[in-house]
Amino acid sequence: MSGAAAIWHDVECGSYEADLALWDGLAERHGGPVLDLGCGTGRVSLHLARRGHRVIAVDRDARLLAALEARAGGLPLETVRADAGELALEEQVPLALAPMQLLQLLPSGAERLACLLRVAASLRPGGLFAAAIVDRLPEEGGEPPRVPDVREVDGWVYSSLPVAVDAGGERILLRRLRQTVSPAGELSEESDEVELCALSVTQLEAEARRAGLEPAGLRAVPPTDLHVGSVVCLFERRA
């Protein structure tokens, strides 16, 4: 384990499985290597690599990549530390993935376009890019599911509870309460905020066209008790 950043990433993202069948199906259809953008500690990358797909896992956080590398063993997986808007691969790929609202974590349209341009450059002609976005509030009134993500690591219990979603203008702000219980039973807690850019399918399609990516359909990932649903936008690189 590579510190608190990796632990909280595992707690809040690691148990999510609703989208894995979609990524696996795309990898079966398009082949590898598969580019996993914003790979974190390897939720998607490890799943695909264990199923025999070669994966190039990209993240800008060295702590998360270290945790992923420690778990990869002899799997067909390589890691690249890079910002999504500055990515330069040595080879082009047939499939690129941006799970878990990665594009909405980029703070501006300019940074999103930079990412889309690098994705297009990383794809083979005719290659596919699949990006998950949340294009509406999680629930009526913007309230998230009131169920915590929980994980135990070496006797420590980590819990992350969504407590509020504030949406206004071009931003969606998710607030979480993070609680830690030590092996001795001592409780500590802190708040955490994640800000997403509001982004519609229509807006993303227009931005993707500017980067040389043509819309190629939509897929739906249903909500779970712990996570909201999402729309996966598909794009093909122009030949």
CATH number of 171's domain: 2.20.25
Give every strand in the sheet of 149-153, ordered side by side. 149-153, 156-168, 171-181, 187-197
pLDDT bucket at 82, cuts 50 / 70 / 90: very high
Do residue 87 and residue 61 come from a single domain? yes
Do residue 89 and residue 38 come from a single domain? yes
Provide, rounded to the nearest whole percent, the portion of the chain with pLDDT above 90: 68
Q: Is 173 within 8 Å of 198 (Cβ atoms)? A: no
Do residue 110 and residue 127 come from a single domain? yes
Do residue 64 and residue 119 come from a single domain? yes
Domain that holds residue 190: 140-197
Do residue 102 and residue 153 come from a single domain? no
Residue 2: per-residue pLDDT: 44
Give the closest residue to 221 by CA, choosing from 106, 134, 114: 134
Mean pLDDT of the 215-233 span: 88
For 52-68, how does the pLDDT look when each residue is reduced to its tens digit (9 = 90+)?
999 999 999 999 999 99
Decide if pLDDT at 1 tops 50: no
Do residue 97 and residue 116 come from a single domain? yes
Residue 238: per-residue pLDDT: 84
Mean pLDDT of the 69-86 span: 94
Beta bridge partners, 55, equal 34, 77
Decide if pLDDT at 144 tops 70: no
Residue 135: per-residue pLDDT: 76
Do residue 114 and residue 217 come from a single domain? yes
Collect contacts of 192-196 with beta carbons under 8 A, ≥24 apart. 192/8, 192/160, 194/105, 195/105, 195/107, 195/171, 196/101, 196/104, 196/105, 196/134, 196/171, 196/172
Strand bridging mode 187-197 / 77-81: unpaired
CB atoms within 10 A of CB 176: 22
pLDDT bucket at 145, cuts 50 / 70 / 90: low
Q: At what angle do helices 201-210 and 109-122 cross, to 10 degrees?
A: 60
Do residue 185 and residue 94 come from a single domain? no
Do residue 161 and residue 59 come from a single domain? no
Mean pLDDT of the 22-37 span: 97
Do residue 160 and residue 112 come from a single domain? no
Share the mean pLDDT of the chain: 90
Give the closest residue to 108 by CA, choosing from 194, 37, 199, 35: 199
For 87-101, how does the pLDDT look when each residue is reduced to its tens digit (9 = 90+)?
999 899 999 999 988
CB atoms within 10 A of CB 110: 10
Tally of domains within the chain: 2
pLDDT bucket at 141, cuts 50 / 70 / 90: very low
pLDDT bucket at 142, cuts 50 / 70 / 90: very low
Decide if pLDDT at 239 tops 50: yes
Residue 228: per-residue pLDDT: 78
Residue 3: per-residue pLDDT: 77
Amino acid of residue 223:
P
CB atoms within 10 A of CB 234: 17
Report the CATH number at residue 111.
3.40.50.150
Do residue 47 and residue 10 come from a single domain? yes
Do residue 35 and residue 120 come from a single domain? yes
Strand bridging mode 77-81 / 93-98: unpaired
Strand bridging mode 230-237 / 213-221: antiparallel
Mean pLDDT of the 212-236 span: 90
For 146-195, how does the pLDDT look when each residue is reduced to its tens digit (9 = 90+)?
678 899 999 999 998 888 777 777 888 888 999 999 999 999 999 998 88
pLDDT bucket at 137, cuts 50 / 70 / 90: low
